[in-house]
C-alpha cells in the first residue's frame, strides 16, 4: 500500500549511509553520469538516491494527487458518491479532473525532465499517460452503459445506497419529502383558520 513506501525509502537511506560511512553531504536527487561512472560507491549511492526519490514520488502521487485510478483519485470519487452525487456524474467529474491534472502534470514533468531532474520528470510523464488511458477506458464504460461493471463505481455500497441530500444537489426523494412537508404545513394552517371563530361570528352567536 501507500504507507509501505515510507519503510522502503528508509531502507534505501540506511544503505546509502552504510556505503558513504554515515555521510550525507553528497546526497542529492540529480543524476550525473560522472558520479555513476566514478566507481562502485558512486554507482550504488546514485541507485540509493534514486530509489529514495522514487518511493517519495510514489507515496506523494498515489495519496495526494486527485488522479484516477490512484488512491487519491479513488478517495475523491468515493467522497463524491458518499455526498450524494449521481453515479454517472461522479464518473464524469472524476474523468474531467483527472484529465486536467494529468495535463498539468505532463507539462511540468516535461519541463523538469528537460531541466535535468531526471526520474521525477520521467515518472510524472508516464503517470500522466497512464491516467489518460484509464480515463479513456472509463469514458467508454460510461457511454456504453457499463459503469455498474466497473470495479470502483460498480460496488454494491454505492449502487444500493439510499440517496440522501448531498452538498451538490438534493435527491429526488429529498425533494419529494420537502414538498410533502410543505403541503402538510399548509393544510394544518388552513384547518386552524377554519376552527378558530372570528370576532363577528362570536358576537352573533352571543
For residue range 119-150, what is the model confidence (pLDDT) as tens digits? 566 777 888 899 999 999 999 988 888 888 88
Spell out the residues 6+ positions from residue 183 whose beta carbon is closer than 8 angstroms to its own.
none
Task: Transcribe 13-38 into DSSP letters.
Answer: HHHHHHHTTT--TT--S---HHHHTT
Question: Does 165 have pLDDT greater than 50?
Answer: no
pLDDT digits (tens, 9 = 90+) for 80-108: 888 888 888 999 999 999 999 999 988 88
How far apart are alpha carbons 134 and 113 in whole angstroms?
24
Stronger pLDDT, 95 or 192, i.e. the higher one: 95
Question: Does 50 have pLDDT greater than 90?
Answer: no
Residue 104 C-alpha cell reads as 498539468
How far apart are alpha carbons 102 and 96 in whole angstroms?
10
CB count within 10 Å of CB 8 equals: 15
Stronger pLDDT, 30 or 9, i.e. the higher one: 9
pTM: 0.59
The reported pLDDT for the residue numbered 111 is: 81
Inter-axis angle of helices 87-115 and 71-82, to 10 degrees?
150
How far apart are alpha carbons 153 and 98 in whole angstroms?
16
The reported pLDDT for the residue numbered 117 is: 56
How far apart are alpha carbons 90 and 81 in whole angstroms?
7
The reported pLDDT for the residue numbered 171 is: 44
Confidence of residue 169 (pLDDT cuts 50, 70, 90): very low
The reported pLDDT for the residue numbered 97 is: 94
Amino acid at each position: 500500500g501507500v504507507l509501505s513506501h515510507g519503510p522502503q525509502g528508509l531502507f534505501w537511506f540506511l544503505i546509502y549511509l552504510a556505503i558513504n560511512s554515515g555521510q550525507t553531504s553528497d546526497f542529492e536527487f540529480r543524476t550525473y553520469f560522472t558520479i555513476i561512472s566514478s566507481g562502485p560507491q558512486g554507482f550504488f549511492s546514485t541507485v540509493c538516491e534514486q530509489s529514495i526519490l522514487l518511493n517519495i514520488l510514489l507515496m506523494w502521487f498515489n495519496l495526494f494527487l486527485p488522479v484516477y485510478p490512484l488512491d487519491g483519485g479513488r478517495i475523491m470519487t468515493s467522497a463524491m458518491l458518499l455526498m450524494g452525487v449521481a453515479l454517472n456524474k461522479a464518473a464524469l467529474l472524476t474523468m474531467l479532473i483527472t484529465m486536467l491534472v494529468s495535463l498539468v502534470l505532463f507539462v511540468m514533468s516535461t519541463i523538469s525532465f528537460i531541466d535535468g531532474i531526471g526520474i521525477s520528470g520521467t515518472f510524472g510523464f508516464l503517470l500522466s499517460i497512464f491516467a489518460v488511458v484509464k480515463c479513456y477506458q472509463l469514458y467508454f464504460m460510461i457511454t456504453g452503459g457499463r459503469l455498474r461493471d466497473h470495479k470502483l463505481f460498480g460496488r454494491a455500497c454505492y449502487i444500493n445506497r439510499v440517496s440522501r441530500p448531498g452538498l451538490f444537489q438534493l435527491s429526488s426523494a429529498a425533494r419529494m419529502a420537502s414538498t410533502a412537508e410543505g403541503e402538510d404545513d399548509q393544510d394544518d394552517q388552513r384547518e386552524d383558520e377554519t376552527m378558530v371563530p372570528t370576532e363577528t361570528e362570536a358576537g352573533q352567536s352571543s
